[in-house]
Amino acid sequence: MSTSKHRMPFGAECQSDGSVCFRLWAPAADQVMLQLIDGDDEHDLRMNTAGDGWLELMTDKARPGMRYAFRVSGEHVDGQQTVPDPASRFQPADVHGPSEIIDPNDFRWPDGEPWRGRPWEEAVCYELHLGTFSPEGTFAGAIKRLDQLADLGVTAVELMPVAAFPGQRNWGYDGVLPFAPDARYGRPEDLKALVQAAHDRGLMILLDVIYNHFGPEGNYLHLYAPQFFNERHQTPWGAAINFDGPDSRAVRDFFIHNALYWLEEYRFDGLRLDAVHAIADDSEPDILTELAETVQDQLGHRRLVHLVLENDGNESRYLTRRPNGMPYWYQAQWNDDFHHAAHVLMTGEQDGYYADYTEEPARLLARCLAEGFAYQADPSPFRDGARRGEPSAGLPPSAFINLLQNHDQIGNRAFGERIASLAFPEAVRALSALMLLAPSPPLLFMGQEFMTETPFLFFCDFGADLADSVTQGRRREFQRFERFADPQAREAIPDPNDPATFQRCRLDWNALDSDARHREWWHFHQQLLRLRQREIVPRLAGMDPEQSRFEAFATNAFQVQWRLGDGAVLTLTANLSDTEHRWDALPLRLAGEALYLEPVGLGDALADRHLPPWAVAWHLASRQQLQESQPRHPQQAGVDGQHHEEAEP
């Protein structure tokens, strides 16, 4: 059996001699006492100053399993305030209670062939919320479904944030103690068991982390370390986390160590950094660059580690590749452009940011497939013409995670509707077939694989002083939408703090067993993912993104073509509308054999030079097939019998 421990310069660190070292950065505190809690007994020990705002204490009076807190006094505190450790490894009594001393070496990882991870080209991501994914809503409950995910064809499980949050239920983005798995889901050893169980099944497991803000309840840093925040930068949550002002070194180290901690101590295969566009940092290198380089330097030589971004700014520079194809910094980014364009095509919705995709949704979707982002320094109508994004055509498809649903896009709707409630099945099937076979890694949100009807609403459990303002603020967010202009209509929006709102979001796995429609959707996804694993994935490594191209030949019809890493050519032909399209000549040649056709009978339609509504055709030509089909003159014969100029990438 083996152990894993990340040594941190703060928190409670168990020593080899049995003592425990406590360290706290509290530059605004006049005095800090360590409170040790052993059952009904409490002991207060004075922390020693160690320079630059640090306090520390080494003591043999502490041991794993004991609880502890810090009693802080200073100019920002009225008298004395008892606070948890900001680097707590576990909070058994929620975020306001004492922390627990955890010795990471107490968890024994099984011996055997060490897990080295999986190449990113193999990624099929599955995002889940632990509290609603299983009936138990725990780490242990999630383990029971891993076999089913592996059988489906998932290769990478992505957990929504697990860092300790206030109350009994939360999406996780209101966490305030980023090193402590929330006690609602289980103990630290339970989360490690989940990671090991995923690896036992050949699954990567990634974790969502938040480095742009702390939640509104349970964050005590302002009392003893207001230097953690920089008033010069303002964010939707107030003063920004201080990554570039005076005293920012300790703050940067706090988050860099957090990333290393999850990757090393818990053996996660990667992290998704939430909403990094909301991180304010004018320094060089910025925190995103320094964090990624530190992870690569310390862990990259041991195993494959994948860092993923959510970045509304479409800053492609963070995804830059080395000459060998590996990333300098970040492996991939969630491609919101893909989602928004696909959503407009499926639903026709035009509110909010969907306004950027209403004029040419199919062309923008095709651009995403061929070049990464739809917005690459292009003016955004939703942003009053401001340019958004950076050029991305030089990046491989593996740098962009495509999705039709995620927690935000469902949960930020007033009633948490899934796509199955908003679009016709034909449209959802077509876009699913497109997403699951495209070279970019696809992402599914829990239950999407069987088209669950369970909503995913915004829910939380704040204290009385915050609960009502959060509920009313949630309802005010929707008053700009026509359907919620009436105050009575807004009152129907579910209360995020109501326990019933959370209960409605529990995934209904019984539907998969009892309803043939749901089973058909599950088998549909499984079929496509098996096809992806067999025919697409082995050809992805080494792709040259400069050889990808797209062509629109009707309002909502287009073709995309990729040269794969082994020299094969993959061609997508799609009609994403409810209108049939005919043509005299396709812009790109349909070389090779049909890999997948949706709907039934599409092969005959292609031969007759037309695409029925919601049609998706995938064709794959191996290098050998391409060589054998080379014409003896400059023109090439297309599938329709017409002649076209050279069209291969």
* pLDDT per position as a tens digit, 560-585: 999 999 999 999 999 999 999 999 99
Residue 35 one-letter amino acid? Q
- What average pLDDT does this structure show over 638-643? 33
pLDDT of residue 630: 75
379 pLDDT higher than 50: yes
In degrees and rounded to multiples of 5, residue 288 shows phi and psi of -65, -40
- The number of beta carbons lying within 10 Å of the beta carbon of residue 473 is 11
pLDDT of residue 632: 54
Least confident of 129-138, 202-211, 486-495: 486-495
Question: pLDDT tens digits for 430-455?
Answer: 999 999 999 999 999 999 999 999 99
Catalytic entry in 94, 121, 158, 274? 274
Q: Give 378's pLDDT tier (boundaries 50, 70, 90).
A: very high
Angle 122-126-129 from CA coordinates, rounded to 5°? 150
pLDDT of residue 538: 98
Q: Give 631's pLDDT tier (boundaries 50, 70, 90).
A: low
- Nearest residue to 266 via CA among 191, 354, 185: 191
- The number of beta carbons lying within 10 Å of the beta carbon of residue 40 is 5
Tell me which residue has tokens 């309802």. 475
For the chain, give the percent of residues with pLDDT over 70. 97
Beta strands in 223-279 (DSSP E): 229-235, 238-241, 270-273
Is 310 annotated as catalytic?
yes
Tell me which residue has tokens 């083996």. 2
Question: pLDDT tens digits for 83-99?
Answer: 999 999 999 999 999 99
pLDDT of residue 636: 37
Task: Give residues with Cβ within 8 angstroms of 406, minimum separation 6.
Answer: 127, 334, 339, 443, 445
In this structure, are residues 142 and 42 in contact, taking their beta carbons and an 8 Å threshold? Answer: no
- Nearest residue to 157 via CA among 187, 130, 180, 181: 130
161 pLDDT higher than 50: yes
Mean pLDDT of the chain: 94
pLDDT of residue 637: 33
353 pLDDT higher than 60: yes
647 pLDDT higher than 80: no
Question: pLDDT tens digits for 102-119?
Answer: 999 999 999 778 899 999
635 pLDDT higher than 80: no
Is 274 annotated as catalytic?
yes
Beta strands in 407-515 (DSSP E): 442-445
pTM score of the predicted model: 0.95
- The number of beta carbons lying within 10 Å of the beta carbon of residue 376 is 18
The Cα 101–Cα 631 span in angstroms is 72
In this structure, are residues 364 and 314 in contact, taking their beta carbons and an 8 Å threshold? Answer: no
Question: pLDDT tens digits for 203-258?
Answer: 999 999 999 999 999 999 999 999 999 999 999 899 999 999 999 999 999 999 99
Residue 376 one-letter amino acid? Q
The Cα 434–Cα 571 span in angstroms is 11
Catalytic entry in 310, 315, 356, 449? 310
Beta strands in 479-584 (DSSP E): 549-554, 557-563, 569-575, 581-582
Instruction: Calculate the alpha carbon distances from 525 to 61, 124, 404, 632 in Å.
Output: 56, 11, 13, 41
pLDDT of residue 12: 98
- What average pLDDT does this structure show over 325-346? 97
138 pLDDT higher than 50: yes
DSSP for residue 109: B
